[in-house]
């Protein structure tokens, strides 16, 4: 079967790398892809949001299945377009993608499905948001309701900062129309985990747990990014806790989506805070996480293409997934300055040596060029991912690989997986 994968980030390289191992794969096309995906299939120079061209390409190249990586094309309805044309597509419809694309929709769905989340209020006028935040004397979290590339959330320990954040989002329009509405939430305390599951409309097949590292600096300091590293499994998610998350979060949400006439299929990603009072939802994403996908898929032994097809066919209950018990750690190498301004076009060396290490894969994200000459082309440049016998071993191996790779201004956090290592000691 010929497959078209849409997207160009580290997540898409990980998906392409895993799909390329499938026996039922014919040709793999990636639109637009990156130099890493070019090693797994054929990159096609069509942008991820050019639905008309993607559909023409799929028709002309006998594509039988489409897998969508990023949220923006999902929210724009790319799955609806392919399905209307009779081509199977993995991911939610535009209506169901509101679970990520409209945090107000997600909040209301959680309320009506009795899913535990932070107390929050939705505002479409700055003056109302301001009055509400000013009336509180504790920390608040202010979120743009729409898509903001993972940067639309401000955790403010002081209400005055919360008002500033709401002003930037609603009046300064720093995220454009994604900031027409804001959510003001209570700040939750605890440790975060990412729970990704395959969903076929009815059945839920949860993947191994993982944990992202959102802030730019060591010790979770500085502004939030798209994610600076991840590991899997997350020891904070015990078996009992995972069962609770499935029972109290994933099942009610999938049921709620059916009741709402927005049935859900694809990957459902719950970002949860493990609080003293149990797991509570921070956000839903309607796709694989980036960078969580890199360590999670490195641990998946089963055929990814088969499970994605089963999610589309409503047959997830007939699938069983096998996982490598070894932990995996992904360290993101970023361009200096990210998540603010950064330069592009810096030559990258040492990729082959790092990629040649056993049980290490260097997933490309913001890179450009060909095999011999690869340059930086984005904020998050590479996701250097390693399996190890223990989490300490996986971390050490990932950083050994990182240290072989050089480019001007290269930056990475040095503490990826430390929380897990600490937990494994106790
Ligand atoms: P989101 O995009 O909604 O996941 O938010 C990005 C990050 O902001 C999360 O990964 C958390 O670190 C933080 N965050 C979001 N909502 C809350 C909350 N209610 N309490 C504390 N931290 C939060
Ligand atoms: N790692 C966070 C996300 O994919 O949104």
pLDDT in tens, 4-17: 999 999 999 999 99
Q: How far is the CA of 149 from the centre of ligand 2 (A)?
A: 9
Determine what percent of the chain is predicted with pLDDT higher than 90.
96
**Which pLDDT band, with edges at 50, 70 and 90, does 362 fall under?**
very high
Atom of ligand 1 lying closest to residue 118 CA: 19
Q: How far is the CA of 65 from the centre of ligand 2 (A)?
A: 24
From the CA of 294, the nearest ligand is 2
Same domain? 242 vs 282: yes
Q: How far is the CA of 73 from the centre of ligand 1 (A)?
A: 23
Atom of ligand 2 lying closest to residue 291 CA: 1
Examine residue 332 and state whether it is found in any structural domain, yes or no.
yes
Does the structure show a pLDDT above 70 at 295?
yes
- Give the helix, strand, coil percentages of the chain, each rounded to 5: 35, 30, 40
Examine residue 314 and state whether it is found in any structural domain, yes or no.
yes
Look up residue 321 and give its DSSP letter.
Answer: -
The residue assigned the tokens 């027409």 is 180
Average pLDDT over residues 28-55: 98
Q: How far is the CA of 3 from the centre of ligand 1 (A)?
A: 34
CATH number at residue 6: 3.40.50.20
d(CA 317, CA 213): 32
Q: Cα(first)–Cα(last) distance of the chain, in Å?
A: 48
Predicted pLDDT at 224: 86
Pairing of strands 2-7, 63-68: parallel
**Which pLDDT band, with edges at 50, 70 and 90, does 207 fall under?**
very high
pLDDT in tens, 135-187: 998 999 999 999 998 789 999 999 999 999 999 999 999 999 999 999 999 99
Contact 424, 390 (CB under 8 A): yes
Same domain? 243 vs 309: yes
114: tokens are 């009795």
Same domain? 250 vs 155: no
Residue to substitute in 106, 151, 153 for testing ligand 1 pocket (most ligand atoms within 8 angstroms of CB): 153
CATH number at residue 240: 3.30.470.20
Same domain? 163 vs 255: no
Residue range(s) defining the domain that contains residue 265: 191-318
Same domain? 246 vs 313: yes
d(CA 77, CA 71): 10
Atom of ligand 2 lying closest to residue 289 CA: 4
Contact 331, 399 (CB under 8 A): yes
Rounded to 5 degrees, what are φ and ψ at 152?
Answer: -90, 15
Average pLDDT over residues 251-268: 98
d(CA 157, CA 141): 8
Does the structure show a pLDDT above 70 at 293?
yes
Predicted pLDDT at 262: 97
Q: From atom 12 of ligand 1, which residue's Cα is the shortest distance away?
A: 214
Same domain? 162 vs 206: no
Rounded to 5 degrees, what are φ and ψ at 370?
Answer: -120, -175
**Which pLDDT band, with edges at 50, 70 and 90, does 371 fall under?**
low
Average pLDDT over residues 114-131: 96
pLDDT in tens, 77-97: 999 999 999 999 999 999 999
Examine residue 149 and state whether it is found in any structural domain, yes or no.
yes
| Residues recorded for the chain | 426
Same domain? 311 vs 355: no
Look up residue 236 and give its DSSP letter.
Answer: T
Q: How far is the CA of 127 from the centre of ligand 2 (A)?
A: 31
């Amino acid at each position: 079967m010929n497959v078209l994968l849409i997207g160009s980030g580290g997540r898409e390289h990980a998906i392409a790398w895993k799909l390329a191992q499938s026996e039922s794969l014919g040709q793999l096309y990636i639109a637009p892809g990156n130099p890493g995906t070019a090693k797994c299939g054929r990159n096609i120079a069509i942008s991820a949001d050019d639905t008309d061209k993607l559909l023409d390409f799929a028709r002309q190249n006998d594509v039988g299945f489409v897998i969508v990586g990023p949220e923006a094309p999902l929210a724009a309805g790319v799955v609806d377009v392919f399905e209307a044309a009779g081509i199977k597509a993995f991911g939610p419809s535009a209506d169901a993608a509101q679970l990520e694309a409209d945090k107000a929709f997600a909040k209301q769905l959680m309320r009506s499905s009795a899913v535990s989340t932070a107390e929050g209020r939705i505002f479409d006028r700055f003056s109302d948001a301001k009055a509400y935040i000013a009336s509180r004397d504790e920390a608040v979290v202010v979120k743009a309701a729409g898509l903001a590339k993972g940067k639309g959330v401000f955790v403010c320990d002081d209400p005055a900062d919360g008002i500033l954040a709401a002003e930037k989002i609603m009046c300064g329009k720093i995220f454009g129309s994604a900031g027409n509405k804001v959510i003001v939430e209570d700040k939750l305390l605890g440790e975060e985990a990412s729970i990704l599951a395959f969903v076929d409309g009815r059945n839920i097949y949860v993947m191994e747990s993982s944990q992202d590292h959102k802030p730019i600096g060591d010790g979770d300091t500085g502004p939030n990014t798209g994610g600076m590293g991840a590991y899997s499994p997350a020891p904070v998610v015990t078996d009992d806790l995972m069962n609770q998350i499935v029972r109290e979060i994933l099942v009610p949400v999938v049921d709620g989506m059916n009741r709402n006439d927005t049935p859900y299929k694809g990957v459902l990603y719950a970002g949860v805070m493990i609080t003293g009072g149990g797991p509570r939802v921070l956000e839903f994403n309607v796709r694989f996480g980036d960078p969580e996908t890199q360590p999670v898929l490195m641990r998946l032994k089963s055929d990814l293409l088969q499970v994605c097809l089963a999610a589309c066919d409503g047959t997830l209950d007939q699938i069983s997934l096998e996982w490598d018990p070894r932990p995996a750690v992904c360290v993101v190498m970023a361009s200096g300055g990210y998540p603010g301004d950064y330069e592009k076009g810096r030559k990258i060396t040492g990729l082959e040596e790092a990629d040649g290490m056993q049980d290490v894969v260097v997933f490309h994200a913001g890179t450009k060029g060909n095999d011999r000459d690869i340059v930086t082309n984005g904020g998050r440049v590479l996701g250097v991912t390693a399996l190890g016998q223990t989490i300490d071993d996986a971390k050490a191996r990932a950083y050994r690989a990182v240290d072989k790779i050089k480019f001007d201004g290269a930056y990475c956090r040095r503490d990826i997986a430390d929380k897990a290592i600490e937990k494994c000691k106790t």
